[in-house]
Structure 1
């Protein structure tokens, strides 16, 4: 059983729906709730409002992530903003040697997805020509780690020294892409200040800063004020788009611009998915179907852990991005009426085939509380054939003669079949190819699925009050430490 779109993207739910799994009767029992959830999505798209959603200040707040795929005048992503991102691409290419992307939460996780899918692990080891003139990329600000931050500074300084020794007659050009809506994010700003000050002291390094922050001019944030004073170019962390959804706005798209990622194709995939997800028929709406099956699997069958298991190393960051999306959106103590419900499914990162040798024992024989969600790439842009390198070793000869992707598919299907044989739930998202368009489809479908599930669970999927709790405690503790 599979829902396939015209693009070739499909959601295979055979091992999640049917006898002994989520049944048609289960779906029927939630029919009214599903209709209500779908109507809420229509209202969200039209007005930006979601019933029961309040900002951290307790005020009604628009939810605008569903606008982001549409490049239109008056939208957060407009023809003007996309053109400005294109200019950023042109400015960076063949001029900037290294970009340090500084952010945490969605400002790190989303950007890491775009980097991994487009660039891969060995990007920074390639020559400038092999990178088509685009800079090396490093990530920081996603943890307060003194050793790694120091290592990063030393590495950049060493790269500058190597460049000068190879006849470069200009400073090594480093762009700090600083992402913080408020400018007070401890993790990000502490790393930024340490790196900024250290690099500024090196005469072989030239530093520029781009600030991605709240664009409000009337009540500027700390970072907006700083950017204005320092004359740093700014891009927007817009109101109405929580960090976990910002991969589709300038938070993610500025980094995309710095690596030559196809922004318009990415948003086109998200737009196509949004249009499909406007279908009233659950069997033709992948986000609503995905949300319904997983919500019911949790509430009626106790499967309240979702193992996100893409088959591909460079998709691990997709799983990590999804962890925040699911955890922050749905892990809520209270429902929209203020009743204590302690709702939430627990997300787990896995990668196939790696975690078939690490986690699968638990998936296969542990508690019946999990859904394993696979992601499969149908056609890889490179696909070596496994050679018969050692004919005298029969066991090795047995695995030769097939492509690596064929072996990967066999592993995934074997995992799914084994799980199904022992009453374990799983499903597969199939991407025709790993392109910006299909990535946009996948990530947007996951975001919209979370919006649907919030309505089904009657919790606010767009706030994060639990995150504010530790922040209120941490501020005074830091001040007390400084005052000692």
Structure 2
């Protein structure tokens, strides 16, 4: 009997029915890389205990530790300590019923991870709700993730509009409109982030009626010779600071203060989120591949790509509020595994191309290609098993037979039927797909999912013999950007 599911004690499930078996990745395929899997697992254990990954260097060519696997464990000597978590929570409480809006400035993991936490906790309509419905937490906007003149101006105008509205309706004790700017940059020289931050900061400080502008910097906290531009600026201006830790690349930083600062701003359950990540890490310490979700996911995706040509991965959650998880995963997969050379310097041009999709929306947009296009894709679905609110489809048009037929179903039942049909249709044509099942859309299960994905790319880097923790391709455009900016200077 073929294995088809890996179920954790929390109920989190990896359903690989349509990824493993006859016509897919086989038991023989997995057995053939058994020694490499054990070596990869030993490398992960070594990483956990020492922070060392074979051959990994910083962009400056110096040895660099990899510490993301430490983040779920809150300990005094860790990057996340009881004191640092308490300070984050205090910061969040300091905003309640005192700050009207937070604007988070960041790009890459400093935006993508934070947007995941916002979407899962807040949803689309958070900023339209009253303060009481938000439990006193502020509205939250994102910027710095693109150098877009129109959106930057529109964000400024939105904040100004809210400030004018408050001034009109304010009571004698309401005070001025308060905006908290959170600027996230390890170096402080990130063009996208700093240019938009400066534009918004300057415009709001000039606004009448007054906008009280407060700033928090999230940056490298090193002082002295290693002091960053943003750290120096924050010290001069007296801005509070949180840490962008060494040893944690941006795509893994959601579990650090980089992501948790947004969690604090909205009342997201930090403890449960880290507990879910921690539980997943503990599950992934199993040597048995069939009990280790990250090793199994990495091995099946690696074999699907290398042996069966499935070198595109479509990440397709069936939930609108999880679309940003797919966007976060694009960076994780692309930067971690899209590598020109292996560790020996041989050109391998490794890595799957990640694609964002969301069900059911993209069944009406991308599925034609998934079903009838090139057989070069693995489709990774995400299912939410139980929804907090789940309306029943009413029978409001009984004379319309087709509509009456679906009445009585819950929306989640219709959603899952669509996902099952999509998966079965792909399988019927020998097309690879798998499903992660979240028992509920909670902070704990989100922590499980994101950590599984982060650790999976680390495992796959070992299988492919590439460095999953550098990003040398990004430096190519950065070397050209400085001179080009000077050419455009007035």
Q: Which residue of 1 aligns with 2:97?
A: 94
Secondary structure at the residue paired with 1:137? strand
Q: Which residue of 2 aligns with 1:161?
A: 164
The CA distance in 1 between the partners of 2:400 and 2:23, in whole Å, is 43
* 1:21 matches 2:24: yes
The CA distance in 2 between the partners of 1:351 and 1:157, in whole Å, is 34
Secondary structure at the residue paired with 2:408? coil
Q: Deviations over 1:113-166 (max 9, x none)?
A: 000000000000000000000000100000000000000001100000001111
Q: Which residue of 2 aligns with 1:175?
A: 180
* 1:11 matches 2:18: no
Q: Which residue of 1 aligns with 2:272?
A: 265
Equivalent of residue 219 in structure 2, options 183, 191, 213: 213
Q: Which residue of 2 aligns with 1:479?
A: 486
Q: Which residue of 2 aligns with 1:249?
A: 256
Shift of 1:480: 2.4
Aligned ranges 1:172-211 → 2 under 5 Å: 172-203=177-208, 204-211=210-217
* 1:115 matches 2:118: yes
Q: Which residue of 2 aligns with 1:124?
A: 127
* 1:79 matches 2:85: no
The CA distance in 1 between the partners of 2:325 and 2:77, in whole Å, is 30
Secondary structure at the residue paired with 2:21? coil
Shift of 1:367: 0.5
Q: Which residue of 2 aligns with 1:425?
A: 432
Aligned ranges 1:35-54 → 2 under 5 Å: 35-54=38-57
Aligned ranges 1:339-358 → 2 under 5 Å: 339-358=346-365
* 1:297 matches 2:304: yes
Q: Deviations over 1:34-56 (max 9, x none)?
A: 11100100100000000011100
* 1:375 matches 2:382: yes
The CA distance in 1 between the partners of 2:170 and 2:35, in whole Å, is 70
Equivalent of residue 337 in structure 2, options 330, 333, 352: 330
The CA distance in 2 between the partners of 1:404 and 1:294, in whole Å, is 31
Equivalent of residue 418 in structure 2, options 408, 411, 416: 411
Alignment TM-score, normalising by the size of structure 2: 0.98
Q: Deviations over 1:64-107 (max 9, x none)?
A: 00000000011000000011011111101111100001000000
The CA distance in 1 between the partners of 2:83 and 2:486, in whole Å, is 42
Q: Which residue of 1 aligns with 2:474?
A: 467
Runs of 5+ in structure 2 lacking a partner? none
The CA distance in 2 between the partners of 1:333 and 1:167, in whole Å, is 58
Q: Which residue of 2 aligns with 1:362?
A: 369
The CA distance in 2 between the partners of 1:227 and 1:472, in whole Å, is 27
The CA distance in 2 between the partners of 1:122 and 1:422, in whole Å, is 40
Equivalent of residue 321 in structure 2, options 306, 314, 324: 314
Shift of 1:193: 0.4
The CA distance in 1 between the partners of 2:133 and 2:89, in whole Å, is 21
Shift of 1:109: 0.2
Shift of 1:230: 0.2
The CA distance in 2 between the partners of 1:337 and 1:237, in whole Å, is 31
The CA distance in 2 between the partners of 1:162 and 1:389, in whole Å, is 40
CA RMSD of aligned residues (A): 0.6
The CA distance in 1 between the partners of 2:431 and 2:344, in whole Å, is 34
Equivalent of residue 451 in structure 1, options 450, 458, 462: 458
* 1:438 matches 2:441: no
Alignment TM-score, normalising by the size of structure 1: 0.99
The CA distance in 1 between the partners of 2:432 and 2:347, in whole Å, is 28
The CA distance in 2 between the partners of 1:70 and 1:349, in whole Å, is 30
The CA distance in 1 between the partners of 2:486 and 2:336, in whole Å, is 30
Runs of 5+ in structure 1 lacking a partner? none
Q: Deviations over 1:264-307 (max 9, x none)?
A: 10000000000000000000000000000000000000001100
Secondary structure at the residue paired with 1:316? helix
* 1:384 matches 2:391: yes
The CA distance in 2 between the partners of 1:481 and 1:437, in whole Å, is 47
Secondary structure at the residue paired with 1:412? helix
The CA distance in 2 between the partners of 1:143 and 1:90, in whole Å, is 29
The CA distance in 2 between the partners of 1:337 and 1:75, in whole Å, is 33
Aligned ranges 1:264-283 → 2 under 5 Å: 264-283=271-290
The CA distance in 1 between the partners of 2:472 and 2:15, in whole Å, is 34
Q: How many residues align?
A: 483
